[in-house]
Amino acid sequence: MIMRNTFREALNAGKPTIGTHFLFNDPDIAELIGDTGLFDYAEFAAEYSCLDMQLLYHLARAAQCAALPLMIKLDQEGQGFWAQAAIGAGFKSVLFTDIRKSEDIDECHAVIRADTPTDSGRMGVKIRRPALSSYAPDQYLEDLGSLVFV
């Protein structure tokens, strides 16, 4: 199941949002944050934590139980790979670090945009978590288009 990006919807509607950060690599934390009902999103500060693809899946699944969109903050080294892995797991926002020039913005943007002639991105269809529930190409493009790029 693809979770709606309620964080993106709030931003598009011009509504203020409130989020929180967490460093713990325990999926229960993401679910507990969502269960409070106090936050529009939570940021997993992966730049200061340890992670692997399995953890990203579990964090996204736990947050989805509480309808909480997740953002990931990545370390500059390897952030392209980890951004795509987090999106494939179900994260709804990516916070890139160490942006120093306009070319860095273009590079980060290309990493998370669809690999289509019109989007000029490098994110191909990944056989990851959303694909398990018949991730149709139109849904895939819509989901990628709703990502919050910070």
122 sits in which H/E element? none
Q: What are the φ/ψ torsions at residue 13 (nearest 5 degrees)?
A: -85, 0
**Model confidence at 58, in pLDDT bands (50, 70, 90)?**
very high
Q: Stretch 137-147: mean pLDDT, rounded? A: 75
pLDDT at 30: 97
pLDDT at 24: 93
Domain boundaries, the chain: 6-11+19-149
pLDDT at 148: 86
Query: Global pTM?
Result: 0.87
| Residue 82 tokens, joined | 């980890």
Q: Residue 85, class by beta-carbon neighbours within 10 Å (0-12 exposed, 13-18 middle, 19+ buried)?
A: buried
Residue 135 pLDDT > 70: no
**Model confidence at 133, in pLDDT bands (50, 70, 90)?**
low
pLDDT tens for 1-45 read 678 899 999 999 999 999 999 999 999 999 999 999 999 999 999
- Asked if residues 52 and 78 have their Cβ atoms less than 8 Å apart, the reply is no
Candidates 3.30.2090.10, 2.30.30.100, 3.20.20.60, 3.40.50.920; correct CATH number of 6-11+19-149?
3.20.20.60
pLDDT at 71: 98
pLDDT at 146: 80
CA atoms within 13 A on the CB side of 97: 14
CA atoms within 13 A on the CB side of 43: 16
